[in-house]
């Protein structure tokens, strides 16, 4: 299985951009699921493969009724749409009020996401954009089914302090308490920094020291370039060689590093599929 859940503590560090960028260069077939209870962004920022807009009613909204009768992983494909470039997405809710329709269904969704990689018909990994998380957000109910929870953070001091505290809180909730950095408890909790490439290496060491000192059990798994131009290209708002952008080049390095460290545990019959950044 490989459900990778991306989330942030506060603000707008770029969780959706990070999820799409990683999926665009993911080495196996992948589904991006917008699971932010506050609503998704892709329907507003990205075009469908047919050149028109994405259908806001096909995705998390349409899956709500299906999931109440039980959800087989392959049923997820009935609610997905391809973006321009071929990336397959499960479009998020339109507004926060629609999250009431998913009440009690988040664990069911988490199991379906985590088991999709083992589907005998159309296996894929799932990258879930969970948006901002707090103590009571229902999206946290996906996390126990994840192989990896990635907390996305920018590098301002207050952002780093928040991600440290959020990592500790998640460790307590998911693992029963703070863990040392060598902990093998699952899901693994990692931090993905959005950083200036010229300073990212030094920052990684500093943030890892901070996470270790706080006994969060989390560590930095990589950095994505703070690249507004690349983000605009990824969203289709700007033309250019997306594969040459700092954003996609850094996303490729993150995915390579993730698979070097955890790929054996995620191995399975998941076929490759071209993504937007190839």
Indicate if the pLDDT at residue 193 is higher than 50. yes
Indicate if the pLDDT at residue 246 is higher than 80. yes
pLDDT band, very low/low/confident/very high, at 190 (cuts 50, 70, 90): very high
Query: 209 or 235, which is more confident?
Result: 209
What pLDDT is stored for residue 271 in this prediction? Answer: 53
What pLDDT is stored for residue 263 in this prediction? Answer: 76
CB neighbourhood size of 10 (10 A) = 14
Preceding omega of 82 cis (within 30 degrees of 0): no
Q: 147 vs 77, 157, 189, CA distance in Å? A: 21, 28, 9
Q: Please state the rounded mean pLDDT for residues 52-64.
A: 93
Indicate if the pLDDT at residue 180 is higher than 60. no
Q: Please state the rounded mean pLDDT for residues 195-202.
A: 88
Contact 146, 187 (CB under 8 A): yes
pLDDT band, very low/low/confident/very high, at 157 (cuts 50, 70, 90): very high
Query: Per CATH, the architecture of 3-266 is what?
Result: 3-Layer(aba) Sandwich (3.40)
Query: 116 or 176, which is more confident?
Result: 116
What are φ and ψ of residue 128, in 5° steps? Answer: -100, 125
Q: Please state the rounded mean pLDDT for residues 227-242.
A: 87
Judged by average pLDDT, the poorest of 59-73, 95-109, 175-189, 204-218 is: 175-189
Domain boundaries, the chain: 3-266
Task: List strand residue ranges (DSSP E) for 28-143, in order.
Answer: 30-34, 81-82, 88-90, 125-132
DSSP 12: -
Reported as half-sphere exposure (CB side, CA atoms, 13 A), residue 100 has a value of 2
Indicate if the pLDDT at residue 178 is higher than 80. no
pLDDT band, very low/low/confident/very high, at 265 (cuts 50, 70, 90): confident
* Neighbour-count burial of 136, counting CB atoms closer than 10 A to its CB (0-12 exposed, 13-18 middle, 19+ buried): exposed
3-state helix, strand, coil in the chain (%, to 5): 45, 20, 40
Reported as half-sphere exposure (CB side, CA atoms, 13 A), residue 79 has a value of 28
User: How many residues does the structure list for the chain?
Assistant: 278
What pLDDT is stored for residue 278 in this prediction? Answer: 40
CA distance 37 to 53: 21
Listed ranges 133-137, 182-186, 245-249; the one with the highest mean pLDDT: 245-249
What pLDDT is stored for residue 276 in this prediction? Answer: 46
Contact 130, 15 (CB under 8 A): yes
What pLDDT is stored for residue 1 in this prediction? Answer: 52
Percentage of the chain modeled with pLDDT above 90? 63
pLDDT band, very low/low/confident/very high, at 272 (cuts 50, 70, 90): low
Q: Please state the rounded mean pLDDT for residues 209-213.
A: 94
Q: Strand, coil or helix: what is 158?
A: helix
């Amino acid at each position: 299985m490989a459900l990778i859940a991306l989330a942030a503590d506060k603000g707008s560090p770029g969780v959706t951009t990070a999820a799409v960028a990683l999926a665009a260069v993911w080495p196996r077939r992948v589904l991006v699921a917008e699971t932010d209870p506050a609503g998704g962004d892709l329907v507003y920022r990205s075009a469908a493969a047919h050149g028109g807009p994405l259908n806001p009613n096909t995705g998390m909204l349409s899956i709500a009724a299906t999931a109440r009768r039980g959800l087989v992983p392959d049923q997820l494909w009935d609610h997905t749409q391809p973006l321009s470039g071929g990336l397959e997405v499960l479009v998020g809710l339109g507004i926060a009020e629609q999250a009431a329709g998913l009440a009690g269904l988040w664990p069911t969704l988490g199991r379906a996401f985590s088991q999709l990689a083992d589907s005998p018909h159309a296996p894929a990994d799932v990258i879930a954009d969970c948006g901002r998380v707090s103590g009571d957000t229902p999206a946290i109910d996906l996390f126990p089914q994840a192989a990896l929870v990635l907390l996305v953070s920018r590098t301002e001091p207050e952002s780093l302090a928040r991600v440290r505290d959020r990592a500790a809180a998640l460790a307590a909730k998911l693992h029963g308490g703070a863990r040392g950095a060598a902990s093998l408890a699952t899901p693994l909790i990692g931090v993905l920094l959005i950083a200036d490439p010229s300073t990212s290496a030094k920052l990684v060491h500093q943030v890892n020291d901070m996470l270790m000192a706080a006994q969060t059990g989390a560590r930095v798994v990589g950095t994505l370039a703070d690249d507004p131009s690349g983000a605009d290209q990824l969203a289709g708002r700007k033309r250019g060689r997306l594969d040459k952008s700092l954003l996609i080049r850094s996303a490729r390095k993150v995915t390579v590093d993730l698979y070097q460290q955890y790929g054996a545990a995620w191995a399975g019959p998941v076929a490759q599929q071209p993504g937007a950044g190839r």
